[in-house]
Amino acid sequence: MALNPVDLFDVRSLLTEEERSVQDTVARFTDERVLPIIGDAFDEGRFPRELVGEIAEMGLLGSSLPEEYGCAGLNSVSYGLICQELERGDSGIRSFVSVQSSLCMYPIFAYGTEEQKQRWLPDMAAGKVIGCFGLTEAHGGSDPATMKTHARRDGDDWVLNGSKMWITNGNLADIAIVWAQTDDGIQGFVVEKGMAGFAAQEVKHKMSLRASVTSALFFDNVRVPEANRLPNVKGLKGPLGCLTQARYGITWGPIGAAVACLTEVLDYTKERILFGRPVAATQSAQIKMADMARRITNAQLLSLQLGRLKDAGTMKPQQVSLAKWNNCRMAIDIARECRDLLGGAGITTEHAAIRHALNMESVITYEGTETVHQLVIGRELTGINAF
């Protein structure tokens, strides 16, 4: 029997029955609900909000958190597979789930009080409350330790001033997890939509992640009650701990984008007849596609092992950095090469490759640029901090 071109090493056979079932459910959702609309949504620069209810019903929001908070209690490999299958549709859909799950629900779960967990997590799992995560500021996202946004204690409240930039879900969100400097170091606050002095402004003219909302957030003397401060973490390790969760999921997502692109060009090059034979019958096209399959296989095995380490409780942030770097690089290169193999047809959103290539420009940049992750590995190898 022929091998599966987008799973040459039968990585699926390494999954448990439950993990396969999660993958199949999300794959069906992507095929039936995302793929028919996503090209238009990308063209229109529109996040398909109508899908949020179904995403929540499938248990994809905060899927790794415990059932007592209305979540699915799945393992990390299942979360990875969710990211992979969603990003096979579009990075914007996966981004929505990453931000809600890893960057908003996770910090409430990991750093919040029991009251805060009960207050927000069940509604977030149900998609009734949408979150965003404000760490990056306009003057330098790679170096969040230099953040200027600050919070000053005033009676029972904190007074928040500053701004955040490039915030996924910003204009959609009911709550924002905002990281701010305080006299006691960096702390996290849950800022609610409608609080006086809090505003979001959508970033327009994006050429990437067009089916996702990206915003700037502004805080002008916003009074945030002490009850909205996440009390159980202080310092940069708070937001960086969330990034480790999200980056883990992002190692899986680009595999989906690359699988979508390779699947598309395998079909296209068999049909496209040039110089009297299908493009797929040329050595150069075969070498290109074989090389894509090789890189996808590497990425699949890397993410699966990372997930097994995470589920065993031994995963290290440096391992996440290596996989985020490798898998984003793999997917952006494959998407660009697939765009080339489609010729002129590859420049419109009728085909997926250019959409994925453009999306990957964001995915390789956010959650730590490629350079940041390379320097994390360089520091691990040499013991010298080169940032």
Residues near ligand FAD, by CB under 6 A: 99, 133-136, 140-142, 166-168, 209, 214, 362, 365-367, 369, 371-372, 387
367 classed as catalytic: yes
Q: Is 308 exposed, middle or buried (0-12, 13-18, 19+ CB in 10 A)?
A: middle
In 3D, which of 255, 251, 265 has the Cα closest to residue 352?
265
Binding mask 208-247 for ligand TGC (x = CB under 6 A): ---------------------------xxx--xx-xx-x-
* Owner of token pair 């996966």: 94
Q: Which of 78/359 has CB closer to ligand FAD? A: 359
CB distance 110 to 279 below 8 Å: no
Based on DSSP, count helices (H) and strands (E) in the chain, helices before strands. 12, 10
Residue 116: CB partners within 8 Å, gap ≥ 6? 108, 190, 227, 228, 230
- Which DSSP string corresponds to 77-93? HHHHHHHHHHHHH-HHH
Say how far residue 74 (Cα) sits from the centre of its chain. 18
Catalytic pick among 67, 367, 370, 380: 367
Q: Which of 246/338 has CB closer to ligand FAD? A: 246
Residue 345: CB partners within 8 Å, gap ≥ 6? 268, 351
The minimum distance between CB 323 and ligand TGC, in angstroms, equals 12
The minimum distance between CB 351 and ligand FAD, in angstroms, equals 22
Q: Report the partner that residue 365 touches, choosing among ligand TGC, ligand FAD, none (CB closer than 5 to 8 A by kind).
A: ligand FAD
Q: Please choose, out of 21-29, 52-60, 66-74, 361-369, the segment that lies near ligand TGC by the rule CB under 6 A.
A: 361-369
Q: Which of 307/346 has CB closer to ligand TGC? A: 307
The minimum distance between CB 343 and ligand TGC, in angstroms, equals 31
Axis-axis angle for helices 237-271, 76-89 (nearest 10): 50
Q: How far is CA 295 from CA 6, 8, 9, 262, 274, in A?
A: 10, 11, 12, 11, 27
Binding mask 90-129 for ligand TGC (x = CB under 6 A): -----x--xx------------------------------
Q: In a 3-state reduction of DSSP, which class is residue 162? A: strand
Nearest residue to ligand FAD, scored by beta-carbon proximity: 141
Q: Which of 17/205 has CB closer to ligand FAD? A: 205
Is 47 among the residues that bind ligand TGC (CB under 6 A)? Answer: no
Alpha-helical segments (H) within 70-167: 76-89, 91-98, 106-111, 114-125
The minimum distance between CB 216 and ligand TGC, in angstroms, equals 14
Q: Report the partner that residue 236 touches, choosing among ligand TGC, ligand FAD, none (CB closer than 5 to 8 A by kind).
A: ligand TGC
Cα 244–63–101 angle (5° rounding)?
Answer: 45
Residues annotated as catalytic (active site), given as ranges: 367
**Which spans of this chain sit near ligand TGC (rule: CB under 6 A)?**
95, 98-99, 133, 135-136, 141-144, 168, 235-237, 240-241, 243-244, 246, 317, 366-368, 372, 376, 387
